[in-house]
Structure 1
């Protein structure tokens, strides 16, 4: 099977999905799955101007349930894990349920689960109540756009929240960055319904992080197992084709294998901080040709009379968000993609996330001409979105705003790494090296499950090979990895 590298930079938040009919598929489909006479295609049901919710299928399409769902009560056994410093009293029983909006959980309780799951040193801003609620309140990740919130919560007998899972019932595969369009096409070709499906993730955000967020009780391993079982039960209860957990932590990915999930890996490019004191010290680790190229690119910024600024928290005003939204829409419109995020999202997220937001802007005189949005975590700077004025072209500005300013900020903030998003081979020569990302897939149909599993085994071997080849021919001096 040939290696297909999809060139997609997370700073360009859109992509044109591959034609499922022409893409290399998984293998042979089980003969017992009869082919549909309808020949219905995914592509005909998604508009490029705006993703709409389309819970559809060739036959027997089921409108997803609107009500909240109880997934049962569970008794916790034993005294729990040893050596755990509990932040809440150890529970005896928990109840698990599904909620239709994150607003049904207090921000304090949700964020306590997020912080306990990672610790402050690896705090992930995308899993906060503030970020996820901004997606819902702004109309970005809601039923109307094909992202129906179906978050799972676990409560003890005193109604303390012990665990949460960000979960969505989806009517398409857009905004996920782990591509399964060919899987959906195969389902429809053989008369089965792939959508709706369940997606455990942060919408529109290919950032690795915990997906099962747990309070630090001595029973947290049991609560983890219960929540994973609850997700699988919900897949059956909703009669959907599959459950997907995208960009989980590596430890969660390994644990999911024993729970019947198929394993998949991907690749991103991250910059690593080797205790650099400044940008020049980083450059000295690069091969001479790469170092020279970066310096030449950076010189072009001042030569164009551009001024770069890094704005954080209260420094970012409403006018900045309004202008950045124009940049964002220019990017999506030019890439034939969909504007996943609304104007309100940026205002809401900015007000809720405070100093965790870093907006890099480029000014020509008094005018904002481009910008790059970043979020600051406990040990990482996360690059999100990029855009500039319509019909404007500034050589090397994309690289400066998205990559070099991010590196300088990470050094200044003493962060371990910069995650500049999905794909983008042009990042390599600018100091960003490949790292492995993960996803887990629970497929109900046994026939399709076997076919997809076979495909994933072959794909994993290819991804590992490409990663090794890039690392061996990287932009750094010998001995620096």
Structure 2
């Protein structure tokens, strides 16, 4: 489709684009849904105050029909992205450049892989068309750079072919190989690792906590208030600031309905810990967790094992448990590559970042290869034990 037939518009709020039209460009990932992004904006988690200024990209044909979109933000910092470019910013600014504001194509505060260049179903709009639109938007907004993070490999390839710098990262995902029960999964794990996993679950069970999985309207406003306390207990301990506010959770729960899956630990009848997940097409995405009690292995139980139980019971293909965490490997979550692409206009900064990324990519390939050797699964021919 010739670029001259396409019209690019930028939108200061996702409400400017009808929900049905936006979601017709989606792929079932709840994090790029109109409802999720609207909730971020209406709760105040994104906007001028937080340095995530919506500038969503839309491409339309000559008749004004929406062909593609991208969730995009003009940013005055690099927080809440999980693909770190702070070093690039410091180096450029030390040399007298202005790295911020920049253009960020991503889901705020959510290191969830998936499509970022969203084409309407049934169209032949290629990723290259949206890549060109992003380049035009970056220039028109006078931004230093554009960053498409946690995109698909197909998008990463298309952006690379368009001249964008490419970056590779790693996450840890669990894949369901047709397990009917959690014990079936344990049967695929080596004997030593199986004993360790059983011990962890047994120790949590002995703590006296009970667990419930709640979905959609089962999660009450009071429980959302309590979950915000769980969330703050984690952010206060690890980061010192919270990206998501108390208004966000109930709005999200109302709009995403049964796609919201909350695992809750109770001491008697009092909720003391929780792990939030969102469900997409065949995937459970683990996101936020927190606890008001200190119980050994509780994090693993709520965030990993309860998620596996749910995925197996509901026939989901995989569980994605978020960024970082090599400790996930021994619990069945194996390393997978993540992808991002970066358009940098300044020639010297582009050369420096490009050189750094080539070295980083080679190192990442070696790291993923090494991590893969730590798999807990039985090798072919190994006895179940």
- TM-score normalized with structure 2 length: 0.96
In structure 2, the residue matched to 1:23 is none
Q: How far apart in 1 are the matches of 2:165 and 2:5?
A: 30
In structure 1, the residue matched to 2:90 is 185
- Deviations 1:246-283, CA, capped at 9 Å, x for gaps: 00011000011111100000000111111000000101
In structure 2, the residue matched to 1:394 is 295
Structure 2 gaps of 5+ residues are none
Q: Where do 1:65-214 residues align within 5 Å?
A: 76-77=1-2, 93-114=5-26, 118=27, 123-214=28-119
User: What's the secondary structure of 2:274's corresponding residue?
Assistant: strand
Q: How far apart in 1 are the matches of 2:330 and 2:124?
A: 46
Structure 1 gaps of 5+ residues are 1-75, 79-91
Does 1:257 pair with 2:169? no
Please tell me the root mean square deviation across aligned C-alpha atoms, in Å: 1.5
In structure 1, the residue matched to 2:173 is 270
Does 1:338 pair with 2:206? no
What is the number of equivalent residue pairs in this alignment?
381
Return the match for 2:206 from 303, 325, 344. 303
CA shift for structure 1 position 229: 1.3
CA shift for structure 1 position 218: 4.2
Maintained 8 Å contact 2:262/2:274? yes
Does 1:380 pair with 2:283? yes
User: What's the secondary structure of 1:220's corresponding residue?
Assistant: coil
User: What's the secondary structure of 1:113's corresponding residue?
Assistant: coil
- TM-score normalized with structure 1 length: 0.77
CA shift for structure 1 position 238: 2.0
- Deviations 1:148-181, CA, capped at 9 Å, x for gaps: 0000112234433221110000011111000111
Maintained 8 Å contact 1:96/1:227? no
In structure 1, the residue matched to 2:274 is 371
- Deviations 1:189-220, CA, capped at 9 Å, x for gaps: 11111111000000011111111111134442
User: What's the secondary structure of 1:309's corresponding residue?
Assistant: strand
Q: How far apart in 2 are the matches of 1:219 and 1:378?
A: 22
User: What's the secondary structure of 1:476's corresponding residue?
Assistant: coil
CA shift for structure 1 position 479: 3.0
In structure 2, the residue matched to 1:473 is 374
In structure 1, the residue matched to 2:306 is 405
1:218–1:357: structure 2 CA closer, same or farther, 3 Å change rule?
closer
Maintained 8 Å contact 1:311/1:359? yes
Q: How far apart in 2 are the matches of 1:216 and 1:280?
A: 39
Return the match for 1:434 from 310, 321, 335. 335
Q: Where do 1:424-463 residues align within 5 Å?
A: 424-463=325-364
In structure 1, the residue matched to 2:187 is 284
1:161–1:366: structure 2 CA closer, same or farther, 3 Å change rule?
same
In structure 2, the residue matched to 1:231 is 134
Q: How far apart in 1 are the matches of 2:64 and 2:144?
A: 32
CA shift for structure 1 position 141: 1.2
In structure 2, the residue matched to 1:4 is none
CA shift for structure 1 position 315: 1.0
Maintained 8 Å contact 1:267/1:423? yes
1:431–1:341: structure 2 CA closer, same or farther, 3 Å change rule?
same
In structure 2, the residue matched to 1:356 is 259
Which is richer in helix?
A: 2
Q: How far apart in 1 are the matches of 2:371 and 2:99?
A: 35
Maintained 8 Å contact 2:329/2:374? no
Q: How far apart in 2 are the matches of 1:165 and 1:478?
A: 42
